[in-house]
């Protein structure tokens, strides 16, 4: 974060402190998404190696919060199963366990929970996953305009309660509702830009390919 402009660092710190009362919008060349008030932006990220990392408080007292990660990739489409493709990429990178299907086979703690989302306007399935450290979570993904974007929600344990699964699903649904494709994935540009109320605040240096 030391390489960020001073104004951008101030914006990021302000958001992390929870003072973005109106929420903000993150925009990259892969996606645009609204981050609600009280959600903490831990890492702006913007690529598959350093994902955008959000910390989401639970909507109800007594339930642990969850972590959301947004992973974007360039991909040739169309993709028949964006969620499966995103999981394979993360499993190949050692981030998620490819064998985590065992969690899915046991069945989620909340059988009545609707775990189908719409990503970029299309239905997207959800897969139960495990990280290399044993944290349980969910993954869904969507594809549009040359971008594959995976969304991973992680609980605090490897056997989340029904309430934790509901919280993960709630957080993913809130995020996917506002997630939109930017349609410019072929151009190499910096990570997401904070779009607060009023003037946008670019986080990284300006795109060297952009006109002055």
Which value, in Å, is the radius of gyration of the alpha carbons in the chain? 17
pTM over 0.85: no
Would you say residue 16 lies in a domain? no
**For residues 161 and 109, is the Cβ–Cβ distance under 8 A?**
yes
Tell me the CATH number at 160: 2.60.120.1690
Would you say residue 27 lies in a domain? yes
Q: Which pLDDT value is given to residue 17?
A: 37
* Residue 132 in tokens: 């290399």
Whole-angstrom distance, CA of residue 28 vs CA of residue 82: 19
pLDDT digits (tens, 9 = 90+) for 95-126: 998 654 444 444 555 665 678 899 999 999 99
In the predicted structure, residue 84 carries a pLDDT above the cut 90: yes
Q: Which pLDDT value is given to residue 196?
A: 57
Residue range(s) defining the domain that contains residue 130: 21-192
Whole-angstrom distance, CA of residue 39 vs CA of residue 18: 7
Give the count of domains, the chain. 1
């Amino acid at each position: 974060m030391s390489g960020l402009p001073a104004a951008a660092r101030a914006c990021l710190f302000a958001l992390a402190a929870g003072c973005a009362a109106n929420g903000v919008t993150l925009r990259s060349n892969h996606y645009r998404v609204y981050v609600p008030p009280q959600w903490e932006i831990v890492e702006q990220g913007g690529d598959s190696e350093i994902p955008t990392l959000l910390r989401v408080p639970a909507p109800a007292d007594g339930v642990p919060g969850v972590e959301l990660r947004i992973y974007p990739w360039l991909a040739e489409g169309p993709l028949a199963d964006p969620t499966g493709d995103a999981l394979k990429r993360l499993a190949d990178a050692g981030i998620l366990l490819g064998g985590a299907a065992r969690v899915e086979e046991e069945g989620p703690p909340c059988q009545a929970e609707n775990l189908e989302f719409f990503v970029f306007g299309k239905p997207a399935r959800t897969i139960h996953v495990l990280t290399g450290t044993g944290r349980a979570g969910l993954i869904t993904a969507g594809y549009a305009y040359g971008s594959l974007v995976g969304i991973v929600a992680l609980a605090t344990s490897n056997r989340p309660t029904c309430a934790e699964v509901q919280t993960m699903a709630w957080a993913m649904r809130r995020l996917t509702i506002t997630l939109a494709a930017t349609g410019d994935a072929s151009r190499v540009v910096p990570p997401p830009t904070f779009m607060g109320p009023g003037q946008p605040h670019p986080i990284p240096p300006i795109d060297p390919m952009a006109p002055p």
